[in-house]
Structure formats: structure tokens, C-alpha cells
Amino acid sequence: MMSIAVSLLLGIIMGGIISYFILQKTQHKIAIAEYESQIERLKTEHQQAVKEARNRSLDGSRAVIKGKIAEQFLPILPAFKYLPSDARFLGDPIDYVIFNGYTELKDNRGNRDKLEIILLDVKTGKASLTQYQKAILDAAQAGRIRFETIRL
């Protein structure tokens, strides 16, 4: 009778231990499956984020290229109200210095008192002046412009 009770008790203990390990293994597999699912979701989100960033970068690059093309072609466009021969392209920090009336003056058809110097910058889309261009604008508006000659 005692041996039956001990055998029964050992069977219950062994069954409990086996059940515990089977349950642990099952929980471990479930946890691995959940983590693998999260990793796949994060990979997909990362790939989508990279794709969106690449598209934003390309759109920005295209906008910059279009702006640079517009800057170069501005003097031949109808919106340009000066003679192209009076415009000098700089590109940075402003796009053009325009000597309005210079061509007429050079051809002996103009009046030197009507010669005008214009600092012009081209913007496309929603672009605005940079902080440095605003400083140049402020200097021009305040009259902090002068002409110098250097003799070598």
C-alpha cells in the first residue's frame, strides 16, 4: 500500500515536472513568435520610413534643381523686366546684380544719372530669403553699399 502511494506521489511529481517543462517550452515558443512578429512589423515600418525619406529627399533635390534652372534662365523669361545684358549672375549669396541702364549707357543712348544697381534673388515655390540674404537686404535698404577701386 505504501509503495502504491509512493509510486502515485512520484507519478504526480514527475507529471508535474514534465507538464512544467512542456508549458515552459510552449510559452517560450509563443514569446519567440511574438518577438518575431514584432521584428517583422518593425522591419516593415523601417522600410516604409526609409522609402518616404528617400522620396522626400528626391522631391527636395528636384525642387533645388528646378530652382537653379529657373535662376539661370530668368533673364530670358518674360517676367524679367531688365535687359539680360544688364544682369550679372552670382548665384550666392544672391542670384543677380543688375546694372539697370548699363547697356544703354555703354551704347551712348543712356543717362548716367538713371543707372540703377539692383540686387536680385530668385525664389521658386515657397522658398524665402535666408537669414544671410535678409542681412544683405537690410544693408542695401540702410544704404550700406559703396564702390571701391583697388589699383595694383
- Model pLDDT for residues 44-53, shown as the tens digit of each residue: 999 999 999 9
Contacts of 80 (CB under 8 A, 6+ apart): 74, 87
Cell of 107: 551704347
* Average confidence (pLDDT) over 25-43: 90
pLDDT value of position 1: 64
Q: How many CB atoms lie within 10 A of CB 53?
A: 10
Q: What is the DSSP letter of 97?
A: E
Q: List phi, psi (to 5°) of 98.
A: -110, 125
What integer pLDDT is reported at residue 132 of this predicted model? 96
8 Å CB contact between 116 and 101: yes
Whole-model pTM: value is 0.60
Q: What is the pLDDT of residue 103?
A: 93
**Could you read off the pLDDT of 113-134 as tens digits, one per residue?**
999 999 999 887 788 999 999 9
User: Does residue 2 register a pLDDT over 80?
Assistant: no
List, edge to edge, every strand of the sheet that includes 96-100: 87-89, 96-100, 116-120
Q: How far is CA 93 from CA 72, 82, 89, 120, 137, in A?
A: 15, 20, 11, 10, 11
For a pLDDT cut of 70, what percent of the chain falls above it?
99
Structure-block grid coordinates of residue 68: 537653379
At 152 the pLDDT is 92
What does the pLDDT read at residue 78?
Answer: 87
Q: What is the mean pLDDT of residues 47-62?
A: 88
Q: Does the pLDDT at position 35 exceed 70?
A: yes
Looking at residue 129, what is its pLDDT?
Answer: 93
Coil, strand, or helix at residue 61? Answer: helix
